[in-house]
Amino acid sequence: MSRKVITRRPSSGERRTIAPAAAHESLDLDDRPLSVTVSRDGKRLLVALPYELWVVNAATLAAERTIPVAAAEPTVAEAPKESKIWLGGHHLHVGSIFATTHAKVGTKLAGYVDRLALVRPGLLCGVGSQGEVLWDVDKGAPVHRRKAGEHPTHGLVRLGGRAVWADGSASAWVIEPEHPSGYTQLRLRQTSEEAVDAEGIVALGTTSKGRCILAARDGAIAWFAPNLRTEGERFPRTPLRQATPLAVCGDERWIYALRPRGLLQRFLIAQPPRPADAGDDDPPPLPEAQECRLRWPASCMTLLEGEEGPAALILGGPQAEGLLGRLWRADPESLAWQPLRLGARALKEPAPEPTSEGRKVPDFTPTRSKISGSPLAELKVDAILGARAGVLITTAHGSLLERPVGERPAAEVMPADTVILPAMIRPRQGDARPALLLWPGVSDPEREPPDPLWLVWGDSPRGWIELTTPRIREQGWSRPDLFPMQVALAQLPEVAGNRPTLNERWHDPEHFAALARECKRLLKVIW
């Protein structure tokens, strides 16, 4: 066996400087971010994407690893030690920040762990569409479970050893581990006696000092001390369509609220204390409320406390028509803040007792068509590439590929019908292929319509597939190889309903025909 020879070189005596990793201005993500969570040591960011969890270095915004998950909307809660994380969504899983694998924990937890929070060491709280559960981490068993009718969940945070969650009503609910049989209500002081949809709590957050933040659909903000005492309420004069809170967070001085289309607002908690050595010239008081426009649209955010410097906002949002994502850092004090007007909430008076003569007549106006055609999976490619006089429609519910397809004139399409738009796409890397854009609609002009859905023609197996991360993986593709992609729509009909706005450049019949001819000539995409 040959002996290993160690060669020693004399030192030159010069001091070597090892430069730290360069910080990135932003980080491109493979999908739109759903939430951002700071790790307990403040060194990493846990970014939840559909079917993935990204672990990102907080100092450099460099991706360290990605953890594939089976949930479309995963949530994460970190254990106090051992770098252990709990993953929620549909089932409960346990993993590590430093590993890409995880294991399922417990049984019969579907619908109870859509959102997670570690309320105390060893006690995990989960809320979901079917109810709430308190899970003993050491015993691996629930200590409290409440089953309820199906309902949405809009947030879950920890507050002084308690769990606070919201279901979209005007009240947030407090779970006390010592007394889980009854829940305490948290609501704004200015709340109508009757249920008002605009007053529903749809976002929760916390501050660095342990306060709990409640945000309502109409833009109202309230924050509570750890002892559940109300400390402040603010009511910005923001149009209802722009007032929906996407995320809230705060530090010792400000409450930050993220709104649609890159609108960021902040509300003053309290004026800073006057320095003891201050002279006669006092600094001007801080404004009660401000707002600004971010450089990019954002859908989630968190506050990263600096060890020495000021806190920074970590924001995440979509790009490439919402098919990719972006993560970036912003200094709150460097943003172009503008004054924000505040007002009072207009409360709804209790309705008088209905009389026999003045009872409200139900409205039976139809909002969606009755469709009884063949399923979407049987829609032929040649049928969408050819000329068509009517508009293809389908339903908004049910298994995607099993939804029936019908055809109607554009004038007869109902507001709640989902329109099927034939399309041709060219991925970022690859050949052109047929696609379908499902364009949903709602009848309520004040309600936010659902996002469009993309279907493309797959190779193995051949057929329509939804452009979600699991289906993309099954085809052997990756999201960065697909997006951003060129899109050409054969038609963009004018139909009834409140629908998401599409890119006007997509409507290009000539480009659609050219990509269709190319696809038929190359014979690389077979149908």
Q: Give the residue from 326, 194, 302 showing the smallest Cα distance to 250.
A: 302
pLDDT confidence tier of residue 316, bands split at 50, 70 and 90: very high
Regarding beta strands 312-319 and 453-459, do their DSSP bridges make them parallel or antiparallel, or are they unpaired? unpaired
Task: Quote the percentage of the chain above a pLDDT of 70.
Answer: 92
Distances (CA, A) of 498 to 181, 260, 367, 492, 518: 42, 17, 12, 15, 35
The structure tokens listed for 255 are 């409450």
Secondary-structure class of domain 26-270+286-339 per CATH: mainly beta
Say how far apart CA 235 and CA 219 lie, in whole Å: 6
Residue 279 has pLDDT above 80, yes or no: no
Calculate what percentage of the chain has a pLDDT beyond 90: 74
Cα–Cα distance for residue pair 303/250, rounded to 1 Å:
7
For residue 219, pLDDT beyond 70: yes
**For range 428-443, the mean pLDDT:** 94
Q: How far is CA 410 from the centre of its chain?
A: 33
Which element (helix H / strand E) includes 479? helix 479-482
- Grade residue 282 by pLDDT with cuts at 50, 70 and 90: confident
> Strand runs (DSSP E) across 212-337, as ranges?
212-216, 221-224, 230-234, 247-250, 254-259, 263-268, 289-293, 300-304, 312-319, 324-330
Three-class SS state of 2: coil
Mean pLDDT of the region 263-269: 97
Q: Is 451:500 a contact under the CB 8 Å cutoff?
A: yes
Q: Rounded CA gap, 242 and 15, in Å?
A: 56
SS3 per-residue string spanning 332-355: HHHCCCEECCECCCCCCCCCCCCC
* Across 49-78, average pLDDT: 96
Residues of the chain with CATH 2.130.10.10: 26-270+286-339
What is the three-class DSSP state of 60?
coil
3-class SS of residue 40 = coil
**What is the arithmetic mean of pLDDT over 325-347?**
94
**245: pLDDT strictly greater than 90:** yes
119-128, 319-328, 357-366, 497-506: least confident range: 357-366
Mean pLDDT of the chain: 90
Report pLDDT digits (tens) over 359-380.
667 777 788 888 988 999 999 9
- Report which residue type is found at 360: K
pLDDT score recorded for residue 280: 61
Instruction: Give me the mean pLDDT over the 333-359 stretch.
Output: 82
Confidence of residue 1 (pLDDT cuts 50, 70, 90): very low
For residue 434, pLDDT over 70 is answered with yes
Contact 102, 95 (CB under 8 A): yes
CB-based contact 259:238 (threshold 8 Å): yes
CA 527 → CA 142, 383, 403, 404, distances in Å?
Answer: 51, 12, 21, 21
pTM of the model: 0.87
Nearest C-alpha neighbor of 233 from the set 250, 252, 255: 255
Mean pLDDT for 469-486 is 92
One-letter amino acid of 422? P
Please report which confidence band the pLDDT of residue 234 belongs to, taking 50, 70 and 90 as the band edges.
very high
Mean pLDDT along residues 209-216: 95
Helix (H) or strand (E) holding 229: none
Distances (CA, A) of 283 to 190, 207, 254, 272: 33, 25, 18, 10
Residue 19's pLDDT band, with cuts at 50, 70 and 90, is very low
Q: Is the pLDDT of residue 277 over 80?
A: no
Average the pLDDT over 123-127 and give the result: 96
Q: What is the pLDDT of residue 306?
A: 74
